[in-house]
């Protein structure tokens, strides 16, 4: 791969946001402080802190946080001397009021996230963030679900609203390497702003796909220590940066310190190993939003179903982030259908 040997690549660590899904949004203030101290000391560029579903996500539908996210953001800002504290905002979940409060507390970057075909709902939030003086990026989720020309169209909308970069977000961990290459190349050719890439590891491709994204010109990349993120996690930060260094790319972050933080602080927090098990594998196979895994597992227990059946049905129905309420509906319908038809499960899927 022909990668630029400079420090133009900027890394966002997402274990305190995407990883919140794994911990059922039960991060404590001291845990956040401890992780931010370690990341800041290692030279991490950006540290994302908010509910797993972004600002305002602490609800019965998405999962209640143990500690108000604003308190966690304030604690993160307090512990950070060099790293920029970032937040995620999904219009319709978070509002400009939460955005203003996060900015007041010291968050310097916001990623405004929408479904890949709904960039138009981000205009107000992107405008507001720019007015506040925040670094403002667009985040097009479930990027596998639309043709490339539509992806480009939506990214251009975010650019016109004032986004300073737009991410191709593989929320389901479903993109194959060639698909990542095509999407990043198309955005680099079509946009005047930076392009980013956010991976999930449900098909064991997160690091490889991120390297391809960088090769095609992405300068904003995401990682999660110890793979702590929804589904099978994200590109594992310490692994990704070690590979980049082996390739001669130095992004200015201390890998030894990341390794120690991953081993000594993050590892003990994780309730179960971040591995590709049958549930997370089906997320990538069926193209389902990675944060749906725990919800599907709970619904499976409630309705005596294999969670994989629920996830595959969600994939068939093209359910997207923000439709978590559909998981129980689908599980209930499947349970009734299987009883009526005398079936155990149906693993067929059509893309």
Is 169:139 a contact under the CB 8 Å cutoff?
yes
Question: Rounded distance, CA 290 to CA 141, Å?
Answer: 11
Question: Quick one: pLDDT at residue 88?
Answer: 98
Query: Domain locations in the chain?
Result: 10-269, 291-341
Question: Quick one: pLDDT at residue 127?
Answer: 98
Question: Quick one: pLDDT at residue 61?
Answer: 83
Question: Quick one: pLDDT at residue 7?
Answer: 61
Count of other CB atoms within 10 angstroms of residue 120: 12
**Tokens at residue 50, please?**
């908010």
Q: What average pLDDT does the segment 303-310 reach?
A: 89
Top pLDDT among 120 and 349 is at 120
Residue-wise pLDDT for 233-266, tens only, equals 999 999 999 999 999 999 999 999 999 999 999 9
**In degrees, to the nearest 5, what angle opens at C-alpha 128 toward C-alphas 122 and 131?**
140
Residue-wise pLDDT for 25-82, tens only, equals 999 999 999 999 999 999 999 999 999 999 999 998 889 999 999 999 999 999 999 9
Residue-wise pLDDT for 173-223, tens only, equals 999 999 999 999 999 999 999 999 999 999 999 999 999 999 999 999 999
Is 88:46 a contact under the CB 8 Å cutoff?
no
pLDDT for 289 beyond 80: no
Q: Which of 131, 64, 72 minimizes the C-alpha distance to 100? A: 131
Question: Where does 133-173 have alpha helices with state H?
Answer: 148-161
Question: Rounded distance, CA 15 to CA 225, Å?
Answer: 6
Q: Are strands 109-115 and 84-89 parallel, antiparallel or unpaired?
A: parallel
Task: Identify the band that residue 327 occupies on the pLDDT scale cut at 50, 70 and 90.
Answer: confident
Question: Quick one: pLDDT at residue 60?
Answer: 86
Question: Quick one: pLDDT at residue 292?
Answer: 84
Question: Rounded distance, CA 84 to CA 197, Å?
Answer: 18
CATH of 291-341, picked from 2.60.40.10, 1.10.8.60, 2.40.50.140, 1.10.10.10, is 1.10.8.60
Task: Identify the band that residue 4 occupies on the pLDDT scale cut at 50, 70 and 90.
Answer: very low
Window from 231-235, 278-282, 347-351 with minimum mean pLDDT: 347-351
Give the catalytic positions in this structure.
21
Task: Identify the band that residue 347 occupies on the pLDDT scale cut at 50, 70 and 90.
Answer: very low
Task: Identify the band that residue 312 occupies on the pLDDT scale cut at 50, 70 and 90.
Answer: confident
Question: Quick one: pLDDT at residue 234?
Answer: 97
Residue-wise pLDDT for 93-111, tens only, equals 999 999 999 999 999 999 9
Top pLDDT among 54 and 336 is at 54
pLDDT for 344 beyond 70: no
Q: Is the pTM of this model over 0.85?
A: yes
Q: What average pLDDT does the segment 277-291 reach?
A: 84
Q: Which of 99, 83, 100 minimizes the C-alpha distance to 32? A: 83
pLDDT for 290 beyond 80: no
Residue set of the binding site: 17-18, 171, 198, 200, 289
Check if CATH label 3.40.1410.10 holds for domain 10-269. Answer: no
Task: Identify the band that residue 351 occupies on the pLDDT scale cut at 50, 70 and 90.
Answer: very low
Count of other CB atoms within 10 angstroms of residue 289: 27
SS3 200: strand
């Amino acid at each position: 791969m022909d990668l630029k040997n400079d420090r133009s690549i900027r890394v966002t660590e997402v274990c305190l946001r995407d990883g919140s899904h794994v911990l059922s949004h039960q991060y404590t203030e001291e845990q956040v402080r401890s992780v931010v101290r370690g990341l800041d000391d290692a030279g991490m560029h950006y540290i994302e802190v908010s509910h797993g579903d972004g600002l305002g996500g602490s609800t019965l539908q998405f999962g209640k946080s143990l500690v108000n996210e604003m308190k966690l953001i304030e604690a993160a800002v307090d512990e950070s001397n060099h790293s920029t504290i970032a937040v995620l905002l999904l219009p319709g979940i978070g509002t400009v009021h939460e955005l203003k409060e996060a900015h007041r507390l010291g968050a310097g970057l916001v990623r405004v996230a929408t479904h890949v075909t709904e960039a138009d709902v981000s205009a107000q939030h992107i405008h507001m963030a720019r007015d506040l003086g925040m670094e403002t990026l667009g985040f097009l989720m479930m990027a596998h679900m639309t043709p490339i020309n539509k992806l480009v169209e939506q990214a251009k909308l975010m650019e016109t609203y004032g986004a300073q970069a737009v991410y191709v977000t593989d929320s389901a961990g479903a993109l194959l390497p060639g698909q990542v290459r095509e999407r990043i190349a198309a955005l680099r050719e079509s946009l005047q702003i930076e392009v980013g890439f956010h991976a999930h590891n449900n098909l064991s491709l997160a690091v490889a796909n991120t390297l391809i994204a960088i090769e095609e010109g992405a300068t904003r990349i995401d990682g999660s220590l110890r793979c702590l993120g929804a589904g099978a996690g994200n590109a594992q930060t310490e692994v990704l940066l070690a590979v980049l260094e082996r390739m001669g790319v130095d992004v200015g972050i201390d890998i030894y310190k990341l390794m120690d933080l991953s081993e000594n602080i993050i590892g003990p927090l994780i309730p179960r190993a971040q591995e590709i098990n049958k549930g997370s594998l089906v997320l990538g196979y069926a193209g389902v939003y990675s944060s749906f895994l725990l919800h599907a597992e709970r619904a499976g227990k409630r309705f005596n179903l294999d969670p994989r059946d629920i996830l595959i049905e969600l994939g068939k129905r093209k359910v997207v982030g923000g439709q978590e309420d559909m998981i129980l509906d689908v599980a209930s319908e499947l349970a009734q259908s299987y009883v009526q038809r005398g079936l155990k499960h149906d693993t067929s899927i059509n893309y």
